[in-house]
Amino acid sequence: MARNTGILADRAIAALFDAGRLTSEKELDVDQIQPASLDLRLGSHAFRVRASFMPGPSHLVADKLDRLKLHVVDLSEGAVLETGCVYIVPLMERLDLPADMSASANPKSSTGRLDIFTRVITDRAQEFDKIPAGYSGPLYLEISPRTFPIVVRRGSRLSQIRFRVGQALLTEPELLALHESETLVASKKPNITGGGIALSIDLAGDKEGLIGYRGKHHTAVVDVDKKAQHDIFDFWEPLYSRGRTELILDPDEFYILVSREAVHVPPHFAAEMTPFDPLVGEFRVHYAGFFDPGFGHAPAGGRGSRAVLEVRSHEVPFILEDSQIVGRLIYEHMLEQPSSLYGSGLGSNYQAQGLKLSKHFRL
């Protein structure tokens, strides 16, 4: 039964286009609407800017770009975005939200695993990645590659957006009840605090002791639109446990690690991992936080799906211990069950995953 509050599913997102509440410069890609989100596409130009900025309640993004842009990059045939630089790209999609509907954005999973820092900006914004109820206007994406230079082009999809009506978050008692009935994380005694359910780190590794990867510096470019194009070892250093149960995170190095627990998102719910939790340490644990309905759901082919973690320590070295809590998942109600679940015939790249790099790399 449909709810009055919750996250919009795929059919409702399509209806926003039909009603003119969502518009775009070109027709939607066939796989652009996901079970609980919409992929956002880059427009034809990127503005290299001096620094990241927040428009504030009195300014349009275009006005800020006129003052802060260094040069304009044509994306129509593809272009390289360099590490350490900040770019603002107008997106193809534009919103005219109803008064009772808000939205939030997040990097796509592949974007986070490439250490591409992205944030959606709106006119008069006072928060990144948050679109207030009733917003009408353009969308922009701030892009800052951190580890690898990347190739993007008009139509590339680095970010995604979710739409919600009213309050959708599950309370801690609701989370506990849902876990007891559906097993949200593979833990007999889940830690449910701070409005979320905890995940811990796996530093025991697989049969060979592989626990993760550390990004290399001074690499070739990664084309964000091409799968299995790059050799893993040209870009990543494998990390092995060697019998130890800890890992020292070097400041500002980028790591791909994996949760100890498998994660389950039942069909009538969506989840998101909090990107930074000061209660567990001075490091960021997840850049791309959306988990769609059906992730880890056995009937959708997801039994045993674990959360891949994009980890970066801040300021000082930090020691991670095996089984240490590194983040929390919050769950939200869907307005209705999506017509297609994550992994169910959608070609989802990360269903039933363990430790896995982004789709761009091959062994």
Is 142 catalytic? The answer is: yes
Q: What is residue 266's DSSP assignment?
A: -
Q: What gap in Å lies between CA 292 and CA 58, rounded to an integer?
A: 35
3 vs 109, which has greater pLDDT?
A: 109
**Main-chain phi, psi angles of 50, to 5 degrees:** -65, -35
Residue 37 has, within 13 A of its CA and on its CB side, a CA count of 25
Q: Are 116 and 102 in contact (CB under 8 A)?
A: no
Q: What is the pLDDT of residues 32-43, one digit of tens each?
A: 999 999 999 999
Burial label, 183 (beta-carbon count in 10 A; 0-12, 13-18, 19+): middle
Torsion of CA 162, 166, 172, 174, to 10 degrees: -100
Burial label, 285 (beta-carbon count in 10 A; 0-12, 13-18, 19+): buried
Q: What is the pLDDT of residues 305-325, one digit of tens each?
A: 889 999 988 778 989 999 988
In the chain, the domains with their CATH numbers are 6-165 (2.70.40.10), 172-333 (2.70.40.10)
Q: What gap in Å lies between CA 3 and CA 301, rounded to an integer?
A: 26
Candidates 93, 142, 332, 336; catalytic one:
142
Q: Which residues contact 307 (CB under 8 A, 6 or more apart)?
A: 199, 258, 259, 261, 263, 273, 286, 291, 327, 329
The answer on pLDDT for 144 being more than 80 is yes
Helix (H, G, I), strand (E, B) or coil at 37: coil
pLDDT score at 347: 58
The mean pLDDT value for 240-269 works out to 92
The answer on pLDDT for 351 being more than 80 is no
Please give the angle made by the CA atoms of 195, 199 and 200, to the nearest 5 degrees: 140
pLDDT score at 354: 78
Q: Which two tokens stand for residue 210?
A: 């592989």
pLDDT score at 34: 94
Sign of CA dihedral 52, 58, 59, 60: positive
Q: Are 72 and 93 in contact (CB under 8 A)?
A: no
